Amino acid sequence: MNGFVVAFDTATENCAIGVGLRDGCNVTPIASRDFDAPRAAMSGLLPAVSALLDESGVPMRDVTQVVVGRGPGSFTGVRIGVASAKGLAHGLGAPLFGVGTLDAIAWGMPQGANGTLGVVGDAMRGEVYPALFDLAEGVGGRVVRRRAPDYVAKPEAAAIEWARLGERMLLVGNGLVKYVDVFTAALDPNVSLAAEESWAPTGVGLLRAFGASLREGTVVGGEPGVVLPLYTRLSDAEEAERLRAGMAPMAPPETGVGGPLAGFPGPGPS
């Protein structure tokens, strides 16, 4: 399916929006807008999408597919993004596809940022979403390879796990706002920090991650109903309900609304 693509992510306090043109498995960014929107994504997202389309000269009716960052990140932010994307896709009669928020960060890294990339997403509750990627320049362009699926961990546990690899590592992600000292101390001297403007997902990164999923045959979605938020754990309300009922803690179901893919788990409990 070819045509214009609109992509957005609200899983962090940064709202990322991109407009691109799809030709087969290639997605070319046309325009993007990335801005801070703490606790304001619900009211500002769709007007910002409409404004970016207008600036790009792309009528809303000409959008043939919608892409959304499905997390992990803020539970509320992820829900806002996915729900808005489902509504937009239904209204346009267009297919909906999902990409990982941390993947969008990795794909948004500037040229020259090669090697091992550690993305540290803020998971709240004193935890992080850690993800490792290999970045390189290939014959056909940028190559970004994810090492493992998303999971949640204590920052100290994730930092120690990465330090054991003994690799030179570039760090990004909004989890560094709280835990930069934890990671730099554990990884020293094999660590450097990316510029703060690259710590959040971008519209360009979303579009590039979508194109990569098409080329690799790992694309998620099509029908809007099959694109689910990626939470990696139960919500506070769900865990509280289980405690009230005297039930043991449990991992989220492996349906997309939850943790690692079957057969490909993250590290053990933290």
Tokens representing residue 129 in the block: 């979403």
* Buried residues in 193-228 as b, exposed as e (16+ CB within 10 A): ebeeebbbbbbbbbbbbbbbbbeeeebbbeebeebb
Look at residue 254 in the predicted model and tell me its pLDDT: 42
- Shared domain check, 92 and 13: yes
Distance in angstroms (rounded) separating the CA atoms of residues 179 and 109: 20
Over pLDDT 90: what percentage of the chain?
Answer: 77
Q: Flag whether 244 is in a domain.
A: no
Specify the 3-state DSSP secondary structure of 79: helix
- Shared domain check, 60 and 45: yes
Q: Flag whether 261 is in a domain.
A: no
- Shared domain check, 175 and 94: no
Q: Flag whether 242 is in a domain.
A: no
Question: Does 259 score more than 50 pLDDT?
Answer: no
Report in angstroms the alpha-carbon separations of 249 from 9, 76, 135, 266, 269.
30, 22, 36, 18, 12
What residues are paired with 137 via a beta bridge? Answer: 142
- Shared domain check, 149 and 222: no
- Shared domain check, 123 and 67: no
Decide: 17 and 48 in contact? Cβ < 8 Å. yes
- Shared domain check, 8 and 98: yes
Report in angstroms the alpha-carbon separations of 111 from 41, 107, 135, 142, 159.
29, 10, 10, 8, 26
Model confidence at 236, pLDDT cuts 50, 70, 90, reads: low
Q: Flag whether 258 is in a domain.
A: no
Report in angstroms the alpha-carbon separations of 150 from 21, 22, 112, 260, 266.
28, 27, 25, 6, 7
Q: Flag whether 233 is in a domain.
A: no
Distance in angstroms (rounded) separating the CA atoms of residues 233 and 72: 10
Q: Flag whether 72 is in a domain.
A: yes
**Average pLDDT, whole number, for the chain?**
88
pLDDT in tens, 11-59: 999 999 999 999 999 999 999 999 998 765 678 899 999 999 999 999 9
Distance in angstroms (rounded) separating the CA atoms of residues 127 and 17: 27
168: left (phi over 0), alpha (psi -120 to 50) or beta: beta
Question: Does 263 score more than 70 pLDDT?
Answer: no
- Shared domain check, 97 and 19: yes
Model confidence at 1, pLDDT cuts 50, 70, 90, reads: confident
Beta strands at 115-124 and 169-172: parallel, antiparallel or unpaired: parallel
Number of domains in the chain: 2
Look at residue 245 in the predicted model and tell me its pLDDT: 59
With tokens 């991992």, the residue in question is 251
**DSSP code at position 153:** B
- Shared domain check, 94 and 179: no
Distance in angstroms (rounded) separating the CA atoms of residues 195 and 209: 20
Report in angstroms the alpha-carbon separations of 128 from 44, 55, 182.
27, 36, 12
- Shared domain check, 170 and 134: yes
Question: Does 253 score more than 50 pLDDT?
Answer: no
Average pLDDT over every residue of 80-102? 97
Residue 20 sits in which domain range? 3-102+201-226
- Shared domain check, 93 and 207: yes
pLDDT in tens, 96-142: 999 999 999 999 999 889 999 999 999 999 999 999 999 998 887 88
pLDDT in tens, 137-171: 888 788 999 999 999 999 999 999 999 999 999 99
- Shared domain check, 119 and 35: no
Q: Flag whether 237 is in a domain.
A: no
Max intra-chain CA distance, the chain: 57
Average pLDDT over every residue of 230-255? 56
Model confidence at 70, pLDDT cuts 50, 70, 90, reads: very high
CATH at 150: 3.30.420.40
- Shared domain check, 165 and 81: no
Q: Flag whether 161 is in a domain.
A: yes
Decide: 267 and 151 in contact? Cβ < 8 Å. yes
